[in-house]
Structure 1
Amino acid sequence: MKALNKPKIIITPGEPAGIGPELAIQLAQKEWDAQLLFIADPDLLKARAQLLNQSIKIIQWQQDQSLALHQAGTIICNPIALNGPCTAGILQIDNAQYVVDCLSQANHLILHHQFDAVVTGPVHKGVINQAGIPFTGHTEFFASATHTDEVVMLLATEGLRVALVTTHLALSQVPKAITQSKLSRIIGILHQDLQTKFGIQNPKIRVLGLNPHAGENGYLGDEEMTTIQPVIQKFQQQGFQIEGPVSADTAFGSEHHPVQVDAILAMYHDQGLPVLKYKGFGHGINITLGLPYIRTSVDHGTALDLAGKGLANPSSFEFALQQAIHMSKQSIESKLTLAKGTPQ
């Protein structure tokens, strides 16, 4: 099977004591139309596979080696050693640096060895910070590592994509954080990545208001009139298919009236994500837009209570990998089109 022109995807299983390693093993048991490289401790993967009575072949990879198209039952592994012992379900502070080292290696390989995407498993922010390593999340880590000033968090499930203007911010701080310049940057990144990474030629974006009923013409708040509407109008004048501000309580459609847009842009975390997670709980993913490469992730945590018991559901990890492969193919096609000098 030829690997030429197939997407090259990096997978980081995440916290070694969590369910990430066994989810990675479950991923490897399937056929994937891509070249996959797992960054992990191979002994960790072997031990977890044995614990779960899973048969897996692990091939250690060196940077001067080419990758083959993924074959079911095989893991090609860029080895990074754990810093301490690891027991499923029990956090070990010594291994916090290992988690960060895996992410750093993923970033290095993508930037310097022409990989297309990274799919990240769940990490435990608490134990990383307890180890004295400042860490607020994957999104911020990769933004800093690539010197990217602005990134956009987008969560997706089947039939729905929701992007956020603000992310992990106290609700009292949200109104001041939403400025015309920030909103313009977020919409620009969202629109561009929907084109280049999702292959949507003319994306349709629905922008939510900040206040109940989108402010009711200023009676329930004026941010829609002073900040959001002027930005939307600017993009509309440039030919963008953008609508809003729309009241959040009616923006997501219903079973009989599904959303007819490519993405919804919410003003803050808990405005947009409860609907998405209700619709796609266990099947949603996190996508970081604005990076120089594709990054997708599971939408769940380390599930320490399930680790090593064979109970972990791989659906979110599988969807994250599926989307990374799809987006990589779209990105490769977009670059080839631009290289030929033909319009998209």
Structure 2
Amino acid sequence: MSNKRIALTTGDDDGIGFEVTAKALHKIGPQKGVQFFLWRNDNASAKYLKLIDQKFTRITVDDLDEGLKIEGPYLVDICSDLSPAHWVEISAKACMKKNLDGMATAPLSKTLIKDSGFKDLGHTDILKRVSKTKTAHMGFAGSEFNVVLATGHLPVSQITKHISFSTVAEGLLSADLLRRALPKAQQSKPIGVLGLNPHAGEEGMIGKEEQMVFPNLISFAKEKKIPVTGPLVPDAAFFKENWKKFSVYLCLYHDQGLIPFKMVHGQDSGVHITLGIPFIRTSVDHGTAKDIFGKNKANPNSMIDAIRWAINLTRQQA
């Protein structure tokens, strides 16, 4: 069986991406049937390169095309003078061509993406553009619970305009992708779908969105054989005693899901999975943390999770 080829992009030059990636690789070590392609710039810390070299035999190349010619038990080290945003785009295109099987990404600032000449607002938009995917969803897998967002980076004033049966149904299909990737014990549990309004609308007395969406959503889920429960009351859904009742929480907007997820899992654990695109992409669940760049303080746990999830998901595709 051929190796699974996974790209690792290390994000902003002055962020913690290379540090956490190096520490993660040192922790994980070589994996049977997996070849890593590590993107970094020529200013990458020699200390962290030495950390990688303790576990891997590293071959340095100038670009991905050259790296793809290398076979064997080697880590392909791509020392690139391109913008880190281009690393993501090039890796995604290689995934579309089946030259790579997946990618795990370190944090990338929206400012850097803009300065690279891209109109994309983040990783997800780059991946959607490259794959020509209309709808992709952000999923977050954690040790305590898992979350999928039905909508993305919307201003609060725009949220209700985007909540419809079709939007939530598309989110449910992505949540089901994550559910089916979980261990069997978790797969059997329903997806918990949150309501939008306080008290989940209180039968229409505090907003009508739940009444417009959920009757059709329950029928849709039954037709698709997706186990589902909802609408859940938003301010009670994330009580600790509820965490193990659901395989995945489907949240209707960004902060509804990410505030509780990050409160419980912190900034140093959990993994972001892009759902709905035709290849595997995982990511850390934290930002560039430029305030601790170069201080050797970055916790690699989220990158460890991201790489392990990328490996497992690509293997599931075998």
TM over 0.5: yes
Distance 1:134 1:64, change over 3 A: closer
Distance 1:144 1:202, change over 3 A: farther
Partner of 1:88: none
Q: How do residues 1-344 of structure 1 correspond to structure 2 at under 5 angstroms?
A: 4-30=1-27, 31-33=29-31, 34-41=34-41, 43-45=42-44, 48-50=45-47, 54=51, 56=53, 58-61=58-61, 62-69=66-73, 75-82=75-82, 98-130=83-115, 132-195=117-180, 197-198=181-182, 204-254=190-240, 256-281=241-266, 282-332=268-318
CA contact (8 A) 2:138 2:152 kept: yes
* TM-score, length of structure 1 as denominator length: 0.81
Distance 1:199 1:106, change over 3 A: farther
Query: How far does residue 258 in structure 1 lie from its aligned partner after superposition?
Result: 3.4
Distance 1:51 1:77, change over 3 A: closer
Distance 1:245 1:53, change over 3 A: same
CA contact (8 A) 1:191 1:203 kept: no
Can you list the C-alpha shifts for 1:248-269, whole angstroms capped at 9, x where unaligned? Answer: 1222241x55322211100111
- What fraction of aligned residue pairs are identical, expressed as a percent? 30
Corresponding letter in the other structure for 1:326 = N
Distance 1:280 1:224, change over 3 A: same
Partner of 1:336: none
Corresponding letter in the other structure for 2:15 = G
CA–CA separation in structure 2 for the residues paired with 1:259 and 1:147: 35
CA–CA separation in structure 2 for the residues paired with 1:175 and 1:150: 18
Can you list the C-alpha shifts for 1:240-284, whole angstroms capped at 9, x where unaligned? Answer: 211111111222241x55322211100111111111111111102
Query: How far does residue 69 in structure 1 lie from its aligned partner after superposition?
Result: 4.3
**Deviates further, 262-271 or 52-61:** 52-61
Runs of 4+ in 1 over 4 A off after TM superposition: 51-55, 197-203
Aligned-partner SS, 1:243: strand
CA contact (8 A) 1:143 1:291 kept: yes
- Segments of 5+ residues of structure 1 without an aligned counterpart are 83-97, 333-344
Query: How far does residue 183 in structure 1 lie from its aligned partner after superposition?
Result: 1.7
Query: How far does residue 189 in structure 1 lie from its aligned partner after superposition?
Result: 2.8
Distance 1:19 1:259, change over 3 A: same
CA–CA separation in structure 2 for the residues paired with 1:320 and 1:295: 9
CA contact (8 A) 1:235 1:242 kept: yes
CA–CA separation in structure 1 for the residues paired with 2:235 and 2:252: 13
**Deviates further, 295-304 or 107-116:** 107-116
Can you list the C-alpha shifts for 1:18-73, whole angstroms capped at 9, x where unaligned? Answer: 111222222232314232111223x333xx12489747364125245244346xxx
Aligned-partner SS, 2:107: coil
- Segments of 5+ residues of structure 2 without an aligned counterpart are none
CA contact (8 A) 1:284 1:316 kept: yes
CA–CA separation in structure 2 for the residues paired with 1:225 and 1:240: 20
Can you list the C-alpha shifts for 1:140-197, whole angstroms capped at 9, x where unaligned? Answer: 11011110011011112113110011111111211110111222222123324533x4
CA–CA separation in structure 2 for the residues paired with 1:198 and 1:52: 33
Distance 1:37 1:238, change over 3 A: closer
